Amino acid sequence: MAIPIVGKCFPTAAGFLAYLEGLQFGAWRPRFVTMHHTGSPDLKTWRGWQTRAKPVSDEQWLKNLAAYYGAPPLSWSAGPHFFFTPNNFCVLSPPTARGVHAVSFNAMSWGVECTGDFDREKFDGPVRDKYVEGLACLHIASGLQLSPFAKGVRGLHFHC
Protein backbone atom coordinates (compact mmCIF):
# COMPACT_ATOMS: atom_id res chain seq x y z
CA MET A 1 0.00 0.00 0.00
CA ALA A 2 1.35 3.43 -0.91
CA ILE A 3 1.67 6.28 1.56
CA PRO A 4 -0.28 9.55 1.12
CA ILE A 5 1.47 11.55 -1.59
CA VAL A 6 1.36 15.10 -2.90
CA GLY A 7 3.54 14.25 -5.91
CA LYS A 8 4.22 17.78 -7.13
CA CYS A 9 7.56 19.02 -8.43
CA PHE A 10 8.66 22.61 -8.98
CA PRO A 11 11.63 23.48 -11.21
CA THR A 12 11.96 27.01 -9.81
CA ALA A 13 12.27 28.44 -6.33
CA ALA A 14 9.51 30.93 -7.18
CA GLY A 15 7.05 28.13 -7.96
CA PHE A 16 8.08 26.15 -4.89
CA LEU A 17 7.78 29.21 -2.65
CA ALA A 18 4.32 30.00 -4.04
CA TYR A 19 3.21 26.43 -3.25
CA LEU A 20 4.63 26.62 0.28
CA GLU A 21 3.03 29.99 0.98
CA GLY A 22 -0.37 28.46 0.14
CA LEU A 23 -0.14 25.77 2.84
CA GLN A 24 -2.76 25.80 5.59
CA PHE A 25 -1.57 24.22 8.82
CA GLY A 26 -3.85 22.56 11.34
CA ALA A 27 -2.76 20.83 14.54
CA TRP A 28 0.67 19.84 13.19
CA ARG A 29 3.28 22.40 12.21
CA PRO A 30 7.06 21.89 11.78
CA ARG A 31 9.39 23.47 14.32
CA PHE A 32 12.49 23.07 12.13
CA VAL A 33 13.86 21.35 9.02
CA THR A 34 15.88 18.12 9.04
CA MET A 35 18.09 17.65 5.97
CA HIS A 36 19.13 14.24 4.70
CA HIS A 37 20.85 12.96 1.60
CA THR A 38 19.49 9.98 -0.26
CA GLY A 39 22.73 8.02 -0.47
CA SER A 40 20.89 5.90 -3.01
CA PRO A 41 20.41 7.10 -5.59
CA ASP A 42 23.64 8.99 -5.77
CA LEU A 43 23.91 11.78 -8.34
CA LYS A 44 25.45 9.52 -10.98
CA THR A 45 22.55 7.06 -10.74
CA TRP A 46 19.95 9.84 -10.72
CA ARG A 47 21.53 11.41 -13.82
CA GLY A 48 21.48 8.01 -15.51
CA TRP A 49 17.73 7.84 -15.00
CA GLN A 50 17.41 11.10 -16.95
CA THR A 51 19.21 9.72 -20.01
CA ARG A 52 17.44 6.36 -20.30
CA ALA A 53 15.37 5.60 -23.40
CA LYS A 54 12.33 6.20 -21.17
CA PRO A 55 13.57 8.66 -18.51
CA VAL A 56 12.36 8.36 -14.93
CA SER A 57 10.72 11.68 -14.16
CA ASP A 58 10.88 13.13 -10.68
CA GLU A 59 7.10 12.73 -10.46
CA GLN A 60 7.38 9.01 -11.29
CA TRP A 61 10.18 8.63 -8.76
CA LEU A 62 7.86 10.08 -6.09
CA LYS A 63 5.19 7.51 -6.97
CA ASN A 64 7.79 4.75 -6.76
CA LEU A 65 8.96 6.04 -3.37
CA ALA A 66 5.40 6.19 -2.03
CA ALA A 67 4.86 2.56 -2.97
CA TYR A 68 8.25 1.55 -1.48
CA TYR A 69 7.73 3.34 1.85
CA GLY A 70 4.18 2.01 2.23
CA ALA A 71 4.97 -1.63 1.46
CA PRO A 72 6.39 -4.25 3.84
CA PRO A 73 8.83 -4.48 5.39
CA LEU A 74 8.76 -0.69 5.94
CA SER A 75 4.98 -0.13 6.00
CA TRP A 76 5.49 3.52 6.92
CA SER A 77 2.50 5.83 7.39
CA ALA A 78 4.26 8.62 5.44
CA GLY A 79 7.66 9.49 4.02
CA PRO A 80 9.92 12.53 3.99
CA HIS A 81 8.08 15.71 3.10
CA PHE A 82 10.40 16.91 0.35
CA PHE A 83 12.93 15.57 -2.15
CA PHE A 84 15.28 18.01 -3.83
CA THR A 85 16.77 16.82 -7.10
CA PRO A 86 19.13 18.70 -9.41
CA ASN A 87 16.05 19.62 -11.49
CA ASN A 88 13.20 20.08 -9.02
CA PHE A 89 11.92 20.81 -5.56
CA CYS A 90 9.53 17.88 -5.05
CA VAL A 91 6.80 17.35 -2.46
CA LEU A 92 6.30 13.72 -1.45
CA SER A 93 4.34 13.61 1.83
CA PRO A 94 1.86 16.31 2.82
CA PRO A 95 3.87 19.15 4.42
CA THR A 96 0.98 19.93 6.77
CA ALA A 97 1.21 16.55 8.51
CA ARG A 98 3.85 14.56 10.35
CA GLY A 99 6.26 12.77 8.05
CA VAL A 100 8.60 9.82 8.48
CA HIS A 101 12.30 10.53 7.97
CA ALA A 102 14.25 10.65 11.25
CA VAL A 103 12.93 8.80 14.28
CA SER A 104 14.02 11.46 16.73
CA PHE A 105 12.57 14.37 14.71
CA ASN A 106 9.50 12.96 12.86
CA ALA A 107 6.99 14.55 15.19
CA MET A 108 8.47 18.03 14.97
CA SER A 109 10.27 18.68 11.69
CA TRP A 110 9.96 18.74 7.96
CA GLY A 111 12.12 16.03 6.40
CA VAL A 112 14.07 17.00 3.28
CA GLU A 113 15.95 14.42 1.22
CA CYS A 114 18.58 15.81 -1.15
CA THR A 115 19.44 13.53 -4.06
CA GLY A 116 23.05 12.42 -3.77
CA ASP A 117 25.48 10.52 -1.58
CA PHE A 118 27.38 13.35 0.05
CA ASP A 119 29.46 10.95 2.11
CA ARG A 120 31.18 10.16 -1.22
CA GLU A 121 30.15 12.97 -3.60
CA LYS A 122 31.04 16.62 -3.33
CA PHE A 123 28.28 18.89 -2.08
CA ASP A 124 29.13 21.89 -4.23
CA GLY A 125 28.33 23.83 -7.38
CA PRO A 126 24.86 23.93 -8.95
CA VAL A 127 23.56 21.00 -6.86
CA ARG A 128 24.49 22.69 -3.58
CA ASP A 129 23.08 25.99 -4.79
CA LYS A 130 19.77 24.35 -5.77
CA TYR A 131 19.44 22.63 -2.40
CA VAL A 132 20.34 25.78 -0.46
CA GLU A 133 17.71 27.64 -2.49
CA GLY A 134 15.08 25.04 -1.56
CA LEU A 135 16.01 25.18 2.12
CA ALA A 136 15.75 28.97 1.99
CA CYS A 137 12.24 28.67 0.52
CA LEU A 138 11.18 26.40 3.37
CA HIS A 139 12.43 28.82 5.99
CA ILE A 140 11.03 31.91 4.28
CA ALA A 141 7.56 30.44 3.73
CA SER A 142 7.22 28.97 7.22
CA GLY A 143 8.95 31.66 9.24
CA LEU A 144 11.16 29.01 10.86
CA GLN A 145 14.25 30.45 12.51
CA LEU A 146 17.76 29.19 11.83
CA SER A 147 19.35 30.72 14.92
CA PRO A 148 20.06 30.49 17.65
CA PHE A 149 20.38 26.76 16.98
CA ALA A 150 18.89 24.52 19.67
CA LYS A 151 18.80 20.78 19.02
CA GLY A 152 15.24 19.58 18.69
CA VAL A 153 13.91 23.13 18.93
CA ARG A 154 15.09 25.36 16.05
CA GLY A 155 17.67 25.67 13.33
CA LEU A 156 18.63 23.43 10.44
CA HIS A 157 19.18 19.85 11.62
CA PHE A 158 21.06 17.13 9.81
CA HIS A 159 20.26 13.45 9.91
CA CYS A 160 23.41 11.42 10.35
Residues 63-104 have pLDDT tens digits of: 999 999 999 999 999 999 999 999 999 999 999 999 999 888
Average pLDDT across the chain, whole number:
95
From CA 92, how far away is CA 108, in angstroms rounded?
Answer: 17
Is 80 exceeded by the pLDDT of residue 160? no
Q: Report whether 130 contacts 84 (CB < 8 A).
A: yes
Domains of the chain, start order = 8-20+30-99+108-158 (3.40.80)
Confidence grade of residue 159 (pLDDT, cut at 50, 70, 90): confident
Enumerate residues 6+ apart whose C-beta is below 8 A from 19: 8, 10, 91
Global pTM value: 0.95
Is 90 exceeded by the pLDDT of residue 2? no
Enumerate residues 6+ apart whose C-beta is below 8 A from 123: 37, 116, 131
Confidence grade of residue 6 (pLDDT, cut at 50, 70, 90): very high
| 3-state SS, residue 25 | coil
From CA 150, how far away is CA 95, in angstroms rounded?
Answer: 22
Q: Report whether 9 contacts 89 (CB < 8 A).
A: yes
Partners of 91 in beta bridges = 8, 82
What's the confidence (pLDDT) of residue 1?
77
What's the confidence (pLDDT) of residue 4?
94
Q: What percent of the chain has pLDDT over 90?
A: 93
